[in-house]
Structure 1
Amino acid sequence: MTMRVMIATSEGEFLIEVDHKETILEVKQKIEQLLGVPAAFQTLSVYGLELIDGLDMEDYPIVFEGTKIDLTISPPTESDTMIQITVKTSSKKIHMMVDKTETVRSLKEKIHIIDGIPIKRLMLYFSGIEMGDEYRSLSEYNICDQSEIIGFLKTTNRSTTEPASKRLSVLVQTSSCLLNSASIPLEMKDTTTINELRKILLDGKVLPADDYFFIHKQRIMRDSFNLRWHGVENGDSLYVFKGTVSRGY
């Protein structure tokens, strides 16, 4: 399904047609054809949330017909180190722009945002060699433009018992665009599901009766999964938006 969205820059606004199935990177490439600005120098955001290259337009239910998407352009420099890579996991092939000076840990965090793979269980391989040192840069593993990286999920010992639940202090942030802007401190167990979190907020009349979805580190949170599964840590912020999410979230 196609829709038209408004791209807003510091110099003006223009409409482009996009498809719900298009990736954010593909949208950037359309803008590159129109403006001549390389995708590597573009940052797209909606309501302050950066749109991640490896995700699709439909991964952002806050994007609808006529929505304004902010475009920030970083001017190219002679020392620019942005490259395009492909990451293959068991569930999908991800195309993304990265800085080759960033660390393996940073790349794993981006893959977690896009594919939901727990960072601690993710192993990355390039040319048959494991990228085992999370604090080495991608360039130190000879990652260059158009490189393909393979991601595997570490198997867990079935005899290992599930760790005991722990209490987390989190900050729930409501959108100034869709709700009255507010910061709500909460303390709950890391085994609390998103459905349970929603019920806590509705029962306490913190939120009016309506449909909501939550975002953590720029990834939509799944209703039936708990905070631990989403990688939420003590002191993290969760963002709540009005609306519903399809595709099994």
Structure 2
Amino acid sequence: MDVTFVCSGELAFKMEVGFFDTVGDIKQRLQSYRGWPAAGMSLFHNGDLLEDAGGSAACAQRYGIVEGSVIHVVVEFAAAAGNKGSCGGALRLRVNVVSRCGHWRAEIAVSARDEVSALREQLEERVFPLPLDGAYFFIHRQSVMDEGRSFEWHGVETGDEVVVFEGTVTRSPAY
């Protein structure tokens, strides 16, 4: 069954969970999939902590996890790492979004591991002047940003400018 996982500062995602999977199994799968340390994870469903007691007593069935359920994840890293409470240690970035002509500016908080498409969603929720037809793209350091790639992949750092350009980008076919 597909279950949605939510962790503060990260985009929600779906992952397959078996009806008889234990909490430990789910944590191990999350560790493999996202790199979060299983020992530092706390999972919550409907506000209840999913205890990793071991055995079948701690399976998804016992906690009422079904298709479409939402599990909230809290990850605590070693204090020495400086990432306590941050899922996956994902660095939070504050980027300056600027309209092409520079008349509009907004500072937006994103996760370094978010896809650039998350910026589009945030701007559309705010009062930021965008083309009504959704035909716009982002430029960072004179390069068009691929909305399917992360800010980290594009080398975006806190304080960087991302410029919104009206229009669309097309790529020539490979010959």
The TM-score range, normalised by the shorter chain, is: 0.3 to 0.5
Higher strand share: 1
TM-score, normalising length from structure 2?
0.44
Q: Which has the higher contact order (CA 8 A, sep 6+)?
A: 2
TM-score of the superposed pair, with normalisation by structure 1: 0.32
